[in-house]
Structure 1
Amino acid sequence: MARLKNTAWQRYKYILNAALLALPCWFIYQSLNPQFPAQWQTQTIGEFAITPMPLDLAPPYSHHSEYVKDFYLSFNEGDVSDIRQAYLNIGHSALPINELVIGDEGIMHGTVHGQHVHAIAPQKITTNDKLWITIETWQGEQLVQKWDIPSAFSQ
């Protein structure tokens, strides 16, 4: 049965459908071409040369009732398999390792190509805070290093 009334909805509903079908293409493009902030300065800690990179400039978010900030760590020197455990936190000082092992936040995980960390962070990051990495090797040696927080990163 043919419709005799030619309304605006009848004329343009196919354009709306085409727009909805094109929308996933935009999201796929964004997913395949991510934009990350610049890497921070490479620091040496023991046998490791580590370069941290925040995954975004957004403030820390709540993850299991604790505020965290996501980082990617690239190891330019040293073998990641020599690390027993490593933690990342943002604050005025490095958290002690016996306090860090209680929870699962801030622990480094990933592959030899790069490590991902949900760094423990305060709700608001300031330029007075530092990024701290605490590494324990298989020999029981504990290594600590810090990075200054860039002004573009703090809130």
Structure 2
Amino acid sequence: MARSNSFWQRHKYKLNALVLLLPLWFLYQSLTPQFPPAWPAQQVGEFEIAPMPLNLEPPYAHHDEYVKDFMLMFSKGDIRTIRQGYVNIGPAALPLAQLQQSEEGILHGSRHGQHVHAIAPAHLSNTDKVWLTLQTWQGTTLTTSWRLPAELLH
């Protein structure tokens, strides 16, 4: 009885090799991320803060709210003096009482960088800004904003 020497029989092992090599490509991509440049740092109270979007994609839906991911780098000031911090995107900063009602928009991380899922509208416009609201343990509320760069406006 002769064996079939079909195309599939000759090349099925190449598909297996491809399946084994693809995880290496995805591992390389996850270990070498490409981030947009950080925005100019601003002084707010004792802190000097520079935000950096994690990508240039529009906001995405997360737990029934639209959010955009940022990393905030604190180059001056002791973050241990911050009681709570929030980031939102819009024409104005949201009141602290409203921000406290949800888990979205709250700063979390370490002294090396704070990550945030900034509360955002579904579509960004040129009138929107990124608003940072900080409250210290002494009760002082600090607010600052950054204009959205053109590459984020789709």
The verdict on a shared fold, with TM-score over 0.5 as the criterion, is yes
| Aligned counterparts of 1:3 and 1:31: Cα–Cα separation in 2 | 47
In structure 2, the gaps of 5 or more residues are none
Query: TM-score, normalised to structure 2's length?
Result: 0.98
Shift of 1:127: 1.8
- Measured at CA, do residues 10 and 113 of structure 1 come closer, stay the same or move farther in structure 2, by a change above 3 Å? same
In structure 1, the gaps of 5 or more residues are none
What does 1:84-123 align with in structure 2 at a 5 Å threshold? Answer: 84-123=83-122
May I ask how many residue pairs the two structures share in their alignment?
154
Alignment correspondent of 1:126: 125
SS at structure 1 position matched to 2:122: coil
Alignment correspondent of 1:9: 8
| Aligned counterparts of 1:116 and 1:4: Cα–Cα separation in 2 | 60
- Letter of the 1:56 partner, please give it: N
| Aligned counterparts of 1:76 and 1:151: Cα–Cα separation in 2 | 25
Alignment correspondent of 1:52: 51
Alignment correspondent of 2:67: 68
| Aligned counterparts of 2:137 and 2:104: Cα–Cα separation in 1 | 21
Residues 66-95 of structure 1 deviation map (CA, whole Å, 9 limit, x = unaligned): 100000000000011010000000000000
Shift of 1:3: 5.7
| Aligned counterparts of 1:153 and 1:37: Cα–Cα separation in 2 | 10
Alignment correspondent of 1:27: 26
Shift of 1:107: 0.3
Query: TM-score, normalised to structure 1's length?
Result: 0.97
Residues 28-64 of structure 1 deviation map (CA, whole Å, 9 limit, x = unaligned): 0000000001111101100000000000011101111
